[in-house]
């Protein structure tokens, strides 16, 4: 079992569908017996449908490393920095120990952009990852170095969004 060759995928851009693309990729992989963990940066306590599903499904783990509240880009709290750094430490651990076939680092691009974690540390992790492990990075604002090191990069562009039409966040759709 497992992947012979794990690559690095990036889903970035300002449109809807980056995290769900990673979740869909996880489900596809689980169907074939692979083991997936999603490590969520800057997300916590929100009752996402995928978190409920992960509790039910074999081979699917989601860990949330964040607070419920939004993080301020200009003035992140010390707790936000600490949580993001713990998430990165956890990511290193599961990647280097090959504990999962696929490791999704959800919103990690934003955590870098907000200076919660060092880009350099993430680049080093990507460069030294075991070759069997697939890594998926999501979040808007992927840096040029992340894009350079990735094997596959999709930019999800917002053409239109229903928030513009006044549709509020709906359980089962937006979370």
Q: Which residues of 35-46 are buried (b: 16+ CB within 10 A; e: fewer)?
A: bbbbbbbbbeee
Q: CA–CA separation, 154 vs 11, rounded Å?
A: 5
In which region does residue 141 sit, left (phi positive, over 0), alpha (psi from -120 to 50) or beta (all else)? left
Among 44, 53, 119, 126, binds a copy of itself (CB under 8 A): 53
Binding window for a copy of itself (CB under 8 A); candidates: 51-59, 78-86, 88-96, 117-125: 51-59
CA atoms within 13 A on the CB side of 84: 25
Of the pair 28, 73, the CB lying nearest a copy of itself is at: 28
Determine, following the binding rule CB under 8 A, whether residue 19 of this chain makes contact with a copy of itself.
Answer: yes
Determine, following the binding rule CB under 8 A, whether residue 149 of this chain makes contact with a copy of itself.
Answer: no
Q: Which two tokens stand for residue 8?
A: 């690095």
Smallest distance, a copy of itself to C-beta of residue 143, A: 13
Determine, following the binding rule CB under 8 A, whether residue 154 of this chain makes contact with a copy of itself.
Answer: yes
Determine, following the binding rule CB under 8 A, whether residue 32 of this chain makes contact with a copy of itself.
Answer: yes
CA atoms within 13 A on the CB side of 166: 0
Of the pair 6, 116, the CB lying nearest a copy of itself is at: 6
CB 4 within 8 A of CB 16: no
Query: Where in 78-131 does DSSP place strands (E)?
Result: 102-106
How many Cβ atoms sit within 10 Å of the Cβ of residue 116? Answer: 24
Determine, following the binding rule CB under 8 A, whether residue 155 of this chain makes contact with a copy of itself.
Answer: yes
Smallest distance, a copy of itself to C-beta of residue 150, A: 7
Among 45, 46, 49, 73, binds a copy of itself (CB under 8 A): 49
Which positions lie near a copy of itself, rule CB under 8 A?
A: 3-5, 7, 9-11, 13, 15-34, 48-53, 101-102, 134, 147, 150-162, 165, 167, 170-173, 175
């Amino acid at each position: 079992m497992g992947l012979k060759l794990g690559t690095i995928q990036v889903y970035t851009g300002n449109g809807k569908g980056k995290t769900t693309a990673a979740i869909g990729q996880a489900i596809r992989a689980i169907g074939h017996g692979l083991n997936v963990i999603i490590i969520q940066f800057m997300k916590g306590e929100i009752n996402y449908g995928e978190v409920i599903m992960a509790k039910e499904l074999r081979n699917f783990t989601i860990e949330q490393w964040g607070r419920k509240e939004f993080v301020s880009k200009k003035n992140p709290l010390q707790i936000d920095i600490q949580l993001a750094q713990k998430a990165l430490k956890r990511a290193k651990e599961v990647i280097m120990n090959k504990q999962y076939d696929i490791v999704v680092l959800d919103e990690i691009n934003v955590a870098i952009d907000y200076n919660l974690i060092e880009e350099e540390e993430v680049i080093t992790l990507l460069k030294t990852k075991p070759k069997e492990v697939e890594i998926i990075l999501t979040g808007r604002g992927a840096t040029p170095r992340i894009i350079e090191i990735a094997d596959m990069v999709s930019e999800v562009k917002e053409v239109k969004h229903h928030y513009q039409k006044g549709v509020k966040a709906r359980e089962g759709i937006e979370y």
